[in-house]
Structure 1
Amino acid sequence: MDSKLIGMIKDVVDAGKRRGLLHLDSKDEELDGRSITLDGRPVTSFSSCSYLGLEFHPALVDGVAEAVTRYGTQFSCSRAYVSNPLYAEVEALLSELFGGYALVTPTTTLGHLTALPVLADERDAIVLDHQVHHSVHLGANQARAGGTRVELVRHDHLDQACDTIRQLANRHRTVWFGLDGVYSMFGDMAPTQLLEEILAVAPNVRLYVDDAHGMSWTGRHGRGSFLSRFPLNDRVVIATSLNKGFGAGGGCLVFSDPEERDLVRTTGGPLIFSGPMQPPMMGAVRAAALIHLSPEIIGLQAALRAGVDRVNTRLCDTGLPPMAVNESPIFFLQCGLPRVVYEVAKRMLDDGLYVNCSVFPSVPMKRGGIRLSVTAAHTLAEIDQAIDRLAFHIPAVLRDFGVADGQLADDFANAIPREAVADTPPEGNGLRMQSATSIHQIDRATWDAVLGAAAHCSWDAMAAAEAIYGGENAAPEHRWRFRYLVIRDRSGQVVAATFLTALLAKDDMLSAEDVSREIEERRTTDPYYLTSKVIMAGSTLSEGNHIYLDRTGPWRDALRMIVAAAEEEAERCEASTIMLRDLPDGDTEMDAFMLDEGFAKVPILDTHTLTLDGADEKTWYAGLDKKKRNQLRPALEHVDDTEVSFHGSGLAPLTTEETVHLHDLFEQLAARKLRINVFRVPPSLLPEMLRNPAWELGVVRIRTDAAGPQQPVAFWAAHKHGHTYAPLLCGLDDAWRHRDIYRSMLLQIVRRARALSMRKLRLGMDGEIEKRRLGARTERICLYVRTSDDYHGALLNDTVAAVATGRKSH
């Protein structure tokens, strides 16, 4: 290291030590994950990276005790010779957790020093985000010593990485781009849209991602922030920490190719010449992995999310926006120079609150700030206290140190990549658009406040949709691309929000059933006949108005921004159609606006909503008119022959066989009902819904004493948010239709919504006769569509004409 740099670092750190803020020792007999004793008094610490608070989990503590009792304090032998007895099981568990091939390393740093010099030799190049974790720089420098070309790109200009990588890709076997999944200081996340562009530069470009701070608190099985937003494939290698959120110790490398894993395992220097993970911590890793692979991880993640949401909400309310607003438990509040940071931290410590000082060399000299990390151990009261005191101290210290208004904005301009937050510059009307490619980049509270109950697209529901339809190797109709848009005015108020989905759709999605049946005959031999790539506001996994629009503000300008973003996506994905779905019909202002923008209005099936304002079922039934009561009377008799069980996150589990049976029931109904003709859903749909807190499944059986079968005869999947219950799909056993199963299921849905104290039951499209009998209100809706290619439209019209005249269209 350069001597001048060493001197600068020492000066900054010594200043923090003199103020009693750095290089401290806690004086505690025991720890609880929240409170530490500094200078003789207890303080609440917001400095821990143990995001789920697992270090005191009984299973991990017992795992350590059992391992040290059985295997001793150490197994002092290089893994090149022999591994301790826990390694094979632990790596198998972690491979299942990540969906790849895991290799455990004694620390994350040693993982980088192991992997990078093997993955990148003298024929290769590495391009690093200059703010990627220091340990990745160490691994790259080790590779550089072996002849690898290493280049840096500025974190605040990551878009320049494409040009650098393009030049290197022409001259090297492989070009690796190294970055963090979640950046440990600013808390911003890897910009996945940019990464897709980087991978598109050349086929010999690969990603090396350190997701140490993204581990455990999000993703399926807690596999991390990055893998919840970007697929693990043969062009991606993940390095992560088994400390921090995971609660144990060591590091882990994850590969998609077992041969690449074995190459690193066999030839990586630290795995030959250094010691292994020792048995006690291997016992903790094993216990933590089992927790991650169990339903318990969902509750742990939810507990942390509650704290993260509270911080985001309170920071917004107090006018202290963090550097990056997302689902990360890391919050960075701008202060500027180290002396300003230290003064804020000192005043917080005087209030009994310990926060981290993010100063040089962790961040640039003038881009220091307070780093607040939240764990599942923190109470909401402790969070509120910390935010209240920060909201008091930061403005006061800025005034005391003469920091002028606007100075921080200038100093922190473009501090994180534009693609990481993807905000458009303000329009002339002051509107700014945030764009993201994953719901994990959008603040949960903001999203749910405007779209949580409007359609089947709450924050959690979108996380499930990404998991179901995000597979790179899935069938074309199951590979979706998402783009989330949030538009704010000058005051930061949300004026519009939606999500766009690039997907393959059937051109006859809303055609008459006889037309779709004719086309489906052709698809038996040509499965993608009359299908097109569509940019849709919403998706085929949701119903409802997917566009939040504050009509009291500049809504036309906001909607133009949404249309422009859809056009951009259409060009990127080579889509021929843009579709804005499920908007209220009869809106003359909207009709005129959309016509001016080149959209045609298309009426679609009515939707139905039941307001649950009756005190109980008897009151509701009495409130129906006589004709409806008479029509429902047989169903009320049949419903008593049925029983319902409920399944989902926090509810009773279903076996794999039961889930497959429900999927078959859905397929039976889908094959018969073509009024809304969409592609079949993937087999992963129901299992993912069962894991996600936004969804529940109601499973209907005919009681055995009513001569019912052992297997369920019907089910529904419903989205739950706030006071709105919204079934989206269902399945029915055709063999039992004579037992009034559909009506019985509708009545059970009403009962379930009432039992959950829901105020609104959104029953959606189709089945209008039965839904009106329940007293549901009919709502006329429409969609607006614009297409750039009329060839498929001509083919569809030809099929319509053929069906009308009774001739075959093929």
Structure 2
Amino acid sequence: MAKINHNNYLDVVDNMWTSAKEKGIMHINSEEQSFNGEKFRIKGRDLINFGTCGYLGLEIHPDLIAGSIELTKKFGTQLSMSRAYIRPPYIQELEELMSQVFDGNKVICYTSTSNAHISVIATIIKPDDLIILDQQVHFSVQFPCKNAKLLGTEVKMVRHSNYEMLEEMIRENYNKYNRIWYMADGVYSMHGDLPDTTILKQLLNKYPKLHLYFDDAHGMGWAGKNGAGYIYEQLGVNERIVIISTLAKGFGCVGGTAIFADSEMYRRTDIFGGPLSYSHPLSPASAGAAIASAKIHLSNDIYTYQAELRDLMHYMNGCLKEKNLPNISSPDSPIYFIGSGLNKVTRNFVHRILQQGIYVNTATFPVVPNDKSGLRFTLTRHNTKADIELLTDAMAYHLPKAIEEEGDCVERVYQEFGFHLKKKANNSLIKPINNSNLVVEEYTSIHDINPADWDCMFQDRGNISHSGMRAMEEIFSDNEKPEENWSFHYIIVRDKAAKVILATFFTGAIYKDDIVAPENVSKQIEEVRKADPYYLCSKTLAMGSLFCEGDFIYQDTQHPEWRNSVNCLFDFVSKTKKEIKATTVIFRDFEKESILTQIIEEEGFAKMRMPNTNVIQNPKWETPDDLMALIKSKKKRDNIKQYAIRNLDKFEIKIKNEITDKEAILYFNLFENVKKANYSYNFFQYPAKMPEILSKYKEWEFIEISLKENNQLVAVVFSYVGDHHYCPLIVGLDYNYIDSHHVYKQAMFQMVKRGNDLNKKITYLGLTADFEKQKYLALTIPTWAYLKVDETYNLELIESYSNVG
């Protein structure tokens, strides 16, 4: 089957961050002519800096500035030479000083922490090792692990700081691998939480094959003896612990470091450590600043700076507690995360704080779950206690304002983050308001809805007429396998005069979370599912269903109560999600942006690309020659003639509405062939009773394609016939005849021909095989869905499978 365009993780990031940029809370240009760490100048205003990671404020320390200038004067702006040839004296001096910071352990310095990870992971990891990534380990660690995977190293992922899951994975794989590497952060950059080093020590003692690899970039400087960082203070390094740290952030300059206790690991990396050898070393300016910072770290000054920051952290923690703000960060790190819930609330909240003259960061999906976004800020020695009071006062005032302004409930948000809201006498919470102008009807079966009412809205939208929905409910009910049983949820919103303003339906089902992942990713995941059928699957509440595609929502956007009807829709979705215990919600399939899709995005849903859909607005033709005359491209005409029209006499074509039990089995087997061969749109198999049930409904028909030479059934098309449209929804094929008889191309021709013969205005050709359908003048239409997940583990794990052949 032909490939389709897939949603990409980066596309989701692009959509979310582009929206944040347009709202002025990310990708902001500053205007200051000099920087002392205290303030940014943005749009002509000075904003107090609570966003940078120079925790100790060393980036403006006079010794670092002087060191940078001195070495630049001595050695110029760069040494354009690989370290493999020459290691300049200032790099030698820096690495010797850094070794002293880490108690004599070997240190290699890089131009960045990311380069350090690329270098070290490529050098020390072997194909017979196993890498276990913490879900939230920094991207700079995950990226080189993909390259390791290409070279044969197995890479797995555990939920964030889930040590039971980690130990279970260690036990399951212990005899399969030479070494097992757990890769994690020393201080996690989003929530500022810390790994449990006590448990990790126990695991190290229990499992001799276990090795630890830490990115402790956010722990450097402000924590530990000599400012060597949180992880070095707690665990140190040895033959089974490698630490990658930084010369940036708390250290005050630029660059990365790798710290080794294992002399052979150090030697191999130093001899040829990827970018260590094929890219430039640190510039004299960067090295000069780093040398000065290293000397500070080896002096008593470092403990004075650490104590000053700890005092500010203690004061910040007290103010946050006093203001009862939903701070979900560790009190032992200078990174803070204030939960605000929906993306639209966070954007409102951050914008308000920016307007107060305070710069903070935004944290939204996909970095955090859709409904658990928040305001992230950092604390540095540049800040004062007065700054802290100003920030916490502003957050305490503006957080409930932002929540209420965006139509959410303060109490709900606090509960979402595990906090109890301390109510005050004048604190009014948003409560759901019963709109007396609207009547909301909810159903769990199409049988309870008047057929005329439903068909008035949906009879010409694919196979979701009243009859089509009856067939669907019958197919996906009373089956043995849980994935073959769906729940159906209908909503109709009317005004007081009974006029319909909005209507749609959702299905609750078990989805494969890789449904639109690249085929090579789904193939890898399906191998795991042979032993664990529900691996990377989620209970999902989705608009429409996996047995139809198209426009699933009826709406009267001109009605004065339309916006309120949309609020009713979101209330319905929220309630239904809880009732069926779904963890994922999807709105689909939208062909273009609209007021509704904008509202959906504001509710925290992430926009993602779906497969294209293909539609023929049928021009009437009598003969194949007439069809050829309509197709302007000679290449397309020749292809259809060669593979379809010239082979017409080889096939027997029958149109059937009723089928025998034997035919139902044959039809399903042909469809199963296609399903097993196609990972491009990956979902669970339909129930085997599907053909038999469809044959009971007069709107459904089957195009049966057999070979005249031997009466062999080689293809079948399951089609829904509407009043004005034709919808061939399902194709079954005998793959033994794909190449020899081009049966798929013949099936495509017969679908188009049947829609024309029935004199339908539109033929819906559905998903996949865009190029083949375009030959028949099909209009290929991009479609999008909007996704919300309770937590991001499955999505991140699926992303970790990418870039692998």
TM-score, length basis structure 2: 0.50
> 1:379, 1:14 → 2: CA distance?
33
Look up the equivalent residue of 1:208 and give its one-letter code.
Y
Could you tell me how far apart the structure 2 residues matched to 1:395 and 1:193 are? 38
Provide Cα deviations, 1:68-110, integer angstroms capped at 9, x if missing partner.
0111100011111111221111111101101221111110001
1:803 matched residue in structure 2: none
Pick from 129, 147, 164: which aligns with 2:134?
129
Cα offsets for 1:447-505 (capped at 9, x unmatched): xxxxxxxxxxxxxxxxxxxxxxxxxxxxxxxxxxxxxxxxxxxxxxxxxxxxxxxxxxx
- The aligned residue for residue 333 of structure 1 is 338
2:76 to 67, 72, 77: 72
Give the counterpart of 1:97 among 91, 94, 101. 101
Say which SS state the counterpart of residue 259 (structure 2) adopts: strand
- Measure the CA separation in 2 of the matches of 1:407 and 1:262: 55
The amino acid across from 2:43 in the alignment is D
**Unaligned runs of at least 5 residues, structure 2:** 420-805
1:121 & 1:257 partners in 2: Cα distance?
Answer: 16
Tell me how far apart the structure 1 counterparts of residues 270 and 235 of structure 2 sit (CA, whole Å). 25
* Secondary structure of 1:335 counterpart: strand
Amino acid paired to 1:204? K
Residues 359-758 of structure 1 mapped to structure 2, 5 A cutoff = 359-404=364-409, 407-408=412-413, 411-412=416-417
Whole-Å separation in 2 of the counterparts to 1:410 and 1:81? 59
Give the CA deviation at 1:373: 0.3
Residue aligned with 2:8, SS: helix
Classify 1:310/1:413 alpha carbon distance in 2 versus 1 (closer, same or farther; 3 Å).
Answer: closer
Q: 2 CA distance for matches of 1:385 and 1:274?
A: 45
Does the C-alpha gap of structure 1 residues 101 and 339 become closer, same or farther in structure 2, counting only changes over 3 Å?
same
Q: Return the index of the structure with the highest Cα Rg.
A: 2
1:205-225, Cα deviation, whole Å (9 max, x unpaired): 100000000110011110111
- What's 2:228 paired with? 223
Task: State the distance in 1 between where 2:7 and 2:418 align.
Answer: 30
- On the 8 A contact 1:73/1:280 being kept in 2, the answer is yes
Distance 2:406 2:239 in 1: 52
SS at match of 2:162: helix
Note if contact 2:186-2:218 (Cα within 8 Å) is conserved in structure 1.
yes
Corresponding residue of 2:39? 35
Shift of 1:139: 1.8
Residue 59 of structure 1 is aligned with which of 56, 60, 63? 63
Q: What pairs up with 1:256-275 in 2 under 5 angstroms?
A: 256-275=261-280
Could you say which residue in structure 1 is the equivalent of 2:165? Answer: 160
Query: Paired residue for 1:50, among 51, 54, 58?
Result: 54
User: Which of structures 1 and 2 has the larger relative contact order (alpha carbons within 8 angstroms, sep 6+)?
Assistant: 2
Give the Cα separation in 2 of the matches to 1:136 and 1:94: 22
Alpha-carbon separation, structure 2, partners of 1:149 and 1:406? 44
Q: CA deviation at 1:298?
A: 0.9
Instruction: Give the residue type in structure 1 aligned to 2:85.
Output: Y
Kindly report the root-mean-square deviation, in angstroms, between the aligned alpha carbons of the 2 structures: 1.8
Map 1:229-378 to 2 at 5 A.
229-378=234-383
- Cα distance in 1, alignment partners of residues 384 and 264 from structure 2: 46
Q: Are the counterparts in 1 of residues 400 and 410 from structure 2 also a CA contact under 8 Å? A: no
One-letter code aligned to 1:299: T
Distance 1:250 1:111 in 2: 9
Letter in 2 for 1:4: N
Rounded Cα–Cα distance in structure 2 between residues aligned with 1:145 and 1:275: 26
Aligned match for 1:23, one of 20, 27, 34: 27
Q: 1:315 Cα shift? A: 0.4
Deviation track 1:522-562 (CA, whole Å, cap 9, x = no partner) reads xxxxxxxxxxxxxxxxxxxxxxxxxxxxxxxxxxxxxxxxx
Q: Residue 179 of structure 2 aligns with which residue?
A: 174
Amino acid paired to 2:15: D
| CA displacement at 1:23 relative to structure 2 | 0.9
8 Å CA contact 1:161, 1:198 repeated in 2: no
Alpha-carbon shift at residue 156 of structure 1 (Å): 5.7
**8 Å CA contact 1:162, 1:197 repeated in 2:** no
CA-to-aligned-CA distance 1:37-69 (integer Å, 9 cap, x gap): 101111112101000111111100000001101
Question: Is 1:119 matched up with 2:124?
Answer: yes
Residue ranges of structure 1 left out of the alignment (5+ in a row): 415-810
Give the counterpart of 1:6 among 10, 20, 24. Answer: 10
Cα distance between partner residues in 1 of 2:67 and 2:161: 43
Query: What's the TM-score, normalizing by structure 1?
Result: 0.50
Q: Is 1:149 the equivalent of 2:157?
A: no
- Distance in 1 (CA, whole Å) between partners of 2:201 and 2:39 is 42
- 8 Å Cα contact 1:337/1:365 also seen in 2: yes
Specify whether residues 195 and 410 from structure 1 end up closer, same or farther in structure 2 by C-alpha distance, changes over 3 A only: farther
Q: Post-superposition shift, 1:382? A: 0.8
Distance of 1:323 and 1:3 partners within structure 2:
31
1:159 and 1:322 map into 2 onto residues whose CA distance is: 26
Q: How far 1:201 moved relative to its partner? A: 4.1
Q: Deviations over 1:210-253 (max 9, x none)?
A: 00001100111101111222232221100011100000110001
SS of corresponding position for 1:13: helix
Q: 1:413 deviation in Å?
A: 6.3
Cα distance in 2 for partners of 1:66, 1:350 equals 41
Query: How far off is 1:405 after superposition?
Result: 5.3
Per the alignment, in what secondary structure is the counterpart of residue 89 of structure 2? coil
**1:324 and 1:380 mapped to 2: Cα distance?**
19
State the alpha-carbon separation in 2 of the partners of residues 233 and 5 from structure 1: 36
* Contact 2:326-2:417 within 8 A present in 1 as well: no
Instruction: Decide whether the 8 Å contact of 1:84 with 1:279 is kept in 2.
Output: no
Deviations 1:671-717 (A, max 9, x none): xxxxxxxxxxxxxxxxxxxxxxxxxxxxxxxxxxxxxxxxxxxxxxx
SS in 2 for 1:32: coil
- 1:411 deviation in Å? 4.3
Residue type at the aligned position of 1:81: Y
CA distance in 2, matches of 1:146, 1:402: 50
Offset, 1:169: 2.2
Return closer, same or farther for 1:73/1:369 CA change in 2, 3 Å cut-off.
Answer: same
**Is the CA contact 2:248–2:254 (under 8 Å) kept in the aligned structure 1?**
yes
CA distance in 1, matches of 2:287, 2:415: 47
TM-aligned CA deviation for residue 408 of structure 1: 3.7
Residues 167-218 of structure 1, C-alpha deviation per residue, up to 9 Å, x if partnerless? 2221111110000000000010011122123324420110000000011001
CA contact 1:97–1:292 (8 Å) conserved in 2 = yes
Superposed displacement of residue 271, structure 1: 1.4
| 1:360 shift after superposition | 2.1
In 1: Cα distance, 2:366 partner to 2:285 partner: 34
Give 1:165 shift: 1.7
Describe the shift of the 1:139–1:56 C-alpha distance in structure 2 as closer, same or farther (beyond 3 A).
same
- Residue 187 (structure 1) aligns with: 192
Structure 1 Cα separation of the partners of residues 11 and 371 of structure 2: 17
Cα distance in 2, alignment partners of residues 226 and 178 from structure 1: 12
Cα separation, partners in 2 of 1:127 and 1:385, compared to 1, 3 Å: same
Structure 2 equivalent of residue 489 of structure 1? none
Partner Cα distance (2:158, 2:219) in 1: 22
Contact 1:12-1:338 within 8 A present in 2 as well: no
Alpha-carbon deviations, 1:274-330, whole Å to 9, x = none?
Answer: 221111101111000000000111111111112111110100111114212322110
3-state SS, counterpart of residue 332 of structure 1 = strand
- SS of the counterpart of 1:81? coil
